[in-house]
């Protein structure tokens, strides 16, 4: 080969290398905005955190020192996403999760185009002008993650009646594990400055038990404002611009909390803020008596209304036979409740071959259409069914639902007893266990004693684990493989 040809190849190679390096540098220089892979965009909703102009009031928690940080996650993939979860992490000192709030929130299934608000309860430094950097990472059942970098900035605010006093605060009926409770707050604001901004928050006290009461949505039911914070501006905690035509402006907001655990009460001190008279002002009666009654400032300890039972289509089974199990979960409360997960250890016996899961029957309430995860046919060992969080597996007052599924027993001449145990879970509360036993290749059977429903809350929702960390529902998807936490 001639020298000119060699020189041409060398120059061409150097040119290609330069293009690659330039592309890498361009990618690194791109700003931190909502990313679009794998299949979602993430948008920050709440940019500011309130710090009283007297910092000592923030330090001793007599003024708001916590808030719900909100992002909206939108499915932009064009197809349904499954086993979606979102994780929040701060990289700035002084900013942290509050009230036992879990870092990872399990969202389950997102339909094409669906926008899901996600709320984390956080605390922050008592110094205004501090910028907290955070990252939200979203994953689903496909490899990879979508990461979003956001900021939360503390700002100096004055306490004043015009900033949104708490006029009334009303807790809805019943407080049971798995229930979605309502907390209705009427705010009384003054007149908004031109192009003002406003924020509404259901709580500002770091002592709120965010691990037991999970904010899932809110609605603005009534408002005197003419833009921004208006009726129908739902699932949003921060508004800009906000305008008004009246001196006094009332706003009615309903907050929806999912009850995750039993036996833990919590104080709850709502607040709001508004730019009015040229200054940003917040609730003048924060943490004290409401302007009128009723005035609920505490969430009572939730009760566990679940019961679990298990039966089988026969008390004994022969080699290669199929047995149908029925898991019945009853709600004894006077209000509807939601169930999150059912876990079953397929029948096993000392020295006996494994059994395998087949499918759910047509009569089963639990189906793929109302679940975010179903075990695959042929699975063995511990298997799981997961609801679509806060959407499905609702059990009406004084009613029950059933999971009915079939299990294939092995072809074997061995004899023995297969023992089977099932539990269910809602939030951080385990229901069960309930055990059952069947005879194999023998006419006799053993039915295990009833363990009944249990209302104790596992502190880390710790029956299940994900390879990358536990989520608020305590169980997430990892391909088609699950494991028991050690």
pLDDT digits (tens, 9 = 90+) for 323-361: 999 999 999 999 999 999 999 988 776 778 899 999 999
What sign for the dihedral angle of Cα 97, 102, 106, 107?
Answer: negative
Span of 31-35, 242-246, 399-403, 439-443 with lowest mean pLDDT: 31-35
Task: Work out the pLDDT band at 229, boundaries 50, 70, 90.
Answer: very high
Residues 142, 185: one domain? no
Residues 209, 236: one domain? yes
The answer, yes or no, to whether residue 249 has pLDDT greater than 90, is yes
Q: Of the candidates 98, 128, 155, which is a domain's last residue?
A: 155
The per-residue pLDDT for 437 is 86
Phi, psi of 394 (to 5 degrees): -85, 130
Residues 137, 213: one domain? no
d(CA 481, CA 471): 16
What mean pLDDT comes out for the span 209-230?
Answer: 97
Residues 61, 167: one domain? no
CATH number at residue 80: 2.60.40.10
Task: Work out the pLDDT band at 178, boundaries 50, 70, 90.
Answer: very high
Residues 357, 479: one domain? yes
The per-residue pLDDT for 116 is 97
Q: Say if 369 falls within a structural domain.
A: yes
pLDDT digits (tens, 9 = 90+) for 48-76: 999 998 878 888 889 999 999 999 999 99
Q: Say if 8 falls within a structural domain.
A: no
pLDDT digits (tens, 9 = 90+) for 363-382: 999 999 999 999 999 999 99
pLDDT digits (tens, 9 = 90+) for 405-414: 999 999 998 8
Spell out where 76-195 has E strands.
81-90, 96-97, 104-110, 115-123, 131-139, 146-160, 163-171, 180-189
Rounded to the nearest 10°, the torsion over CA 374, 376, 379, 384 is: -10
Span of 45-54, 167-176, 433-442, 470-479 with lowest mean pLDDT: 470-479
Residues 173, 285: one domain? yes
Residues 180, 88: one domain? no
Instruction: Look up the domain containing 84 and give its range.
Output: 40-155
Task: Work out the pLDDT band at 443, boundaries 50, 70, 90.
Answer: low
What mean pLDDT comes out for the span 17-41?
Answer: 46
Question: Between the CA of residue 77 and those of 44, 74, 80, 314, 322, what are the distances in Å?
Answer: 19, 9, 8, 46, 40
pLDDT digits (tens, 9 = 90+) for 450-464: 334 333 333 332 222
More confident of the two residues 154 and 477: 154
Count of domains for the chain: 3
Indicate the DSSP class of residue 180: E
Residues ≥6 apart with Cβ < 8 Å to 16: none
CATH number at residue 162: 2.60.40
Q: Say if 81 falls within a structural domain.
A: yes
pLDDT digits (tens, 9 = 90+) for 283-336: 999 999 999 999 999 999 999 999 999 999 998 899 999 999 999 999 999 999
Residues 474, 331: one domain? yes
Of the candidates 334, 339, 209, the residue with the CA atom closest to the CA atom of residue 263:
209
Q: Say if 15 falls within a structural domain.
A: no
Q: Say if 28 falls within a structural domain.
A: no
Q: Say if 6 falls within a structural domain.
A: no
The answer, yes or no, to whether residue 35 has pLDDT greater than 70, is no
Q: Of the candidates 260, 279, 299, which is a domain's last residue?
A: 299
Residues 134, 149: one domain? yes
The per-residue pLDDT for 469 is 30
Q: Of the candidates 155, 190, 208, which is a domain's last residue?
A: 155
Residues 423, 457: one domain? yes
Residues 208, 74: one domain? no
Residues 311, 460: one domain? yes
What mean pLDDT comes out for the span 71-90?
Answer: 95
pLDDT digits (tens, 9 = 90+) for 145-164: 999 999 999 999 999 999 99
Mean pLDDT of the chain: 85
The per-residue pLDDT for 38 is 59
- Helix boundaries (H) for 60-204: none
Span of 24-38, 79-93, 111-125 with lowest mean pLDDT: 24-38
Q: Say if 1 falls within a structural domain.
A: no
Predicted TM-score of the model (pTM): 0.83
The answer, yes or no, to whether residue 471 has pLDDT greater than 60, is no
Q: Say if 277 falls within a structural domain.
A: yes
């Amino acid at each position: 080969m001639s020298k000119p040809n060699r020189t041409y190849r060398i120059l061409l190679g150097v040119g290609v290398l330069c293009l690659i390096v330039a592309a890498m540098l361009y990618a690194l220089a791109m700003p931190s905005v909502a990313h679009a892979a794998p299949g979602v965009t993430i948008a920050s909703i709440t940019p500011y955190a309130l710090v009283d102009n007297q910092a000592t009031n923030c330090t001793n928690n007599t003024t708001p020192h916590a808030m719900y940080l909100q992002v909206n996650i939108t499915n932009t993939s064009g197809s349904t996403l499954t086993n979606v979860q979102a994780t929040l992490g701060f990289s700035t000192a002084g900013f942290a999760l509050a009230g036992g709030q879990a870092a990872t929130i399990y969202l389950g299934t997102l339909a094409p185009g669906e926008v899901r608000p996600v709320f984390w309860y956080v605390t922050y430094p008592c110094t205004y002008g501090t910028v907290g950097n955070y990252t939200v990472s979203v994953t689903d059942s496909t490899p990879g993650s979508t990461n979003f970098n956001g900021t939360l900035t503390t700002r100096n605010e004055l306490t004043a009646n015009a900033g949104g006093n708490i006029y009334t605060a009303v807790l809805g009926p019943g407080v049971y594990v798995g229930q979605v409770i309502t907390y209705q707050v009427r705010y009384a604001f003054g007149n908004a400055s031109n192009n003002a901004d406003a924020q509404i928050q259901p709580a500002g006290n770091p002592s709120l038990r965010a691990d037991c009461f999970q904010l899932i949505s809110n609605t603005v039911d009534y408002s005197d404002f003419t833009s921004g914070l208006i009726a129908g501006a739902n699932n949003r905690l921060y508004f800009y611009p906000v305008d008004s035509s009246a001196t006094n402006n009332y706003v009615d907001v309903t907050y929806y909390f999912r009850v995750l655990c039993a036996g833990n009460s919590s104080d709850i001190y709502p607040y709001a803020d508004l730019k009015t008279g040229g200054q940003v002002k917040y609730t003048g009666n924060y943490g004290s008596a409401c302007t009128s009654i009723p005035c609920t400032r505490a969430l009572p300890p939730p009760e566990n209304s679940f019961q679990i039972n298990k039966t089988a289509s026969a008390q004994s089974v022969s080699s290669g036979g199929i047995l149908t199990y029925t898991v019945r979960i009853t709600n004894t409360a006077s209000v509807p409740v939601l169930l999150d997960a059912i876990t079953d250890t397929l029948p096993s016996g000392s020295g006996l071959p494994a059994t395998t899961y087949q499918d759910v029957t047509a009569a089963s309430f639990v189906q793929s259409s109302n679940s975010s995860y179903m075990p695959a046919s042929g699975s063995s060992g511990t298997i799981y069914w997961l609801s679509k969080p806060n959407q499905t597996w609702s059990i009406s007052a004084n009613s029950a639902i059933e999971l009915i599924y079939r299990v294939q027993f092995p072809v074997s001449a061995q004899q023995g007893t297969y023992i089977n145990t099932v539990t269910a879970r809602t939030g951080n509360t385990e229901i069960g266990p309930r055990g059952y036993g069947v005879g194999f290749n023998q006419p006799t059977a053993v039915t295990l004693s009833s363990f009944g429903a249990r209302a104790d809350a596992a502190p880390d929702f710790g029956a299940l684990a994900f390879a990358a960390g536990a989520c608020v529902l305590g169980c997430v998807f990892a391909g088609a493989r699950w494991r028991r936490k050690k």
